Amino acid sequence: MINKIPNINVPINNTIPEIISNKSRNIAIAPGAGNPIRQWKFDNYLQIAKKLRSQNYNIYFFLGPNEKPFLDICLNNKFICPEWENGEIISKDISFTMNLAKKNVLFVM
């Protein structure tokens, strides 16, 4: 059993947008599963996100290149996708995503 989550040193990525709030009520949803057969229906994530937002949580969707079809759905529902800008992924560098994740975010995967 893990009693404490270790602090992982992540190389600084200076392209991180100041999108994610520094508040403690941040939740990131990462719906990708690497393989569509293992993927939960996106609508389930969307319903959870709406419920959490109604309870005053800041919700962020972390979408990889394979989840681009969900980008418009997220944006139309007024959810922030911090890895995307103008319909394009900002960076495919894992340090970019990891630096975003270190901003007081709880992940739902």
65 contacts 89 by C-beta, under 8 angstroms: yes
Over residues 54-104, the pLDDT tens digits come to 999 989 898 988 899 999 999 999 999 988 999 999 877 777 777 766 665
Q: Report the amino acid identity of residue 94.
A: I
Q: Where are the domains of the chain?
A: 26-103
pLDDT recorded at residue 86: 92
- CA-only gyration radius of the chain, Å: 14
d(CA 22, CA 59): 13
pTM over 0.85: no
DSSP per-residue string spanning 13-63: -TT--TTS-SSS-EEEE----SSGGGPPPHHHHHHHHHHHHHTT-EEEE--
